[in-house]
Structure 1
């Protein structure tokens, strides 16, 4: 069953996640908190994976798929208004990670997967570019890595774990969510039933 356009991800869904984060004690060292942030990220990545799948299988044409990706980008990358500085930083990290996911999805729909190289090649090139403070090139390499992940290549988690903390490691973190979403596009439960 394909998802009707405009229903892949909604403003309300994103706001529900933000409200949960606002209400709960969030400590990235705490497993439940870390999972909440990861679920927020994975949930958006799953919506992107569904758009790509519907594009590849036919219900969506290129223009509609790109519009749907852009709609989710507008929702997720909108400035968040939460008073807690630490929570804002954590959500900002999720948004940064997802930037690369949106670009990779758009690139894949518009141009297809990178013609040569491996995911690891591109991630290493991105890390080198970041070290030279060429962030546009670094993002470009991560996007190419993302198109290959969408195409079924694997991200080497060990290599990703060795990255210096910075924008490339954040973007690769997003690509990890994208890889998970492409292999298992199951919806993350945003609310526990008992809280209804």
Structure 2
């Protein structure tokens, strides 16, 4: 059993990451900064992956699973307070990427696994975004995520490379973190000396 209910992710853990970002010089072009942001994103995705894995293993009932997901979502998607506008934008990007992970987890737990290939779903999401139908775009990305949860198919980086920068690209980025979390659910260590 990986974590007792209620302890998959804590507000304190999220705040530790936020404080690190607040204290450091963040430049998304810089490798260390990019890694810090990716670790923040992966850490939350790992919590989601563990909850769903415990559900798959029968350790959590559907209702408990949705409650645990809601707790993590509340922590991760809460408004972040920082004085630095650029850092706020960067954290907002991470939160945006994770929105899709939560929707995908909830759909999967509700028993909805898409049948269409991931590339087709991402393509449909991209088309929907171009047509300003953001809700449909998010829906298609979440469906792609259900296929990752169900271990039906892997998200290919070729799909990501073809995307224009925008919401779909950010959501697919979140799905990439989810895929990594499901294949290697090791907790991202927070550096104590940072």
TM-score range, shorter chain: over 0.9
Shift of 1:190: 1.2
Partner residue in 2 for 1:127: 126
Aligned residues: 193
Partner residue in 2 for 1:136: 135
Partner residue in 2 for 1:31: 31
Is the 1:123–1:145 Cα contact (8 Å) retained in structure 2?
Answer: yes
- What TM-score comes out, normalization by structure 2 length? 0.97
Task: Give me the whole-angstrom Cα distance separating, in 2, the residues matched to 1:140 and 1:113.
Answer: 12
Shift of 1:111: 1.9
Task: Map Cα deviations across residues 83-124 of structure 1 (whole Å, 9 max, x no partner).
Answer: 00000000000000000000000000012421x211111000
Partner residue in 1 for 2:22: 22
Pairwise CA RMSD = 1.0
Task: Map Cα deviations across residues 55-101 of structure 1 (whole Å, 9 max, x no partner).
Answer: 00011000000000000000011000000000000000000000000
Partner residue in 2 for 1:146: 145
Task: Give me the whole-angstrom Cα distance separating, in 2, the residues matched to 1:37 and 1:144.
Answer: 25
Task: Give me the whole-angstrom Cα distance separating, in 2, the residues matched to 1:171 and 1:15.
Answer: 22
Residue 41 (1) aligns with residue 59 (2) = no
Task: Give me the whole-angstrom Cα distance separating, in 2, the residues matched to 1:184 and 1:111.
Answer: 24
Task: Give me the whole-angstrom Cα distance separating, in 1, the residues matched to 2:19 and 2:2.
Answer: 29
Partner residue in 2 for 1:106: 106
Partner residue in 1 for 2:183: 183
Runs of 4+ residues over 4 Å off in structure 1 = none
Is the 1:22–1:87 Cα contact (8 Å) retained in structure 2?
Answer: yes
Task: Give me the whole-angstrom Cα distance separating, in 1, the residues matched to 2:20 and 2:155.
Answer: 30
Task: Give me the whole-angstrom Cα distance separating, in 2, the residues matched to 1:189 and 1:155.
Answer: 25
Task: Give me the whole-angstrom Cα distance separating, in 1, the residues matched to 2:129 and 2:120.
Answer: 14
Shift of 1:2: 3.0
Is the 1:101–1:174 Cα contact (8 Å) retained in structure 2?
Answer: yes
Equivalent position SS for 1:139? helix
Partner residue in 1 for 2:62: 62
Gaps of 5+ in 2: none
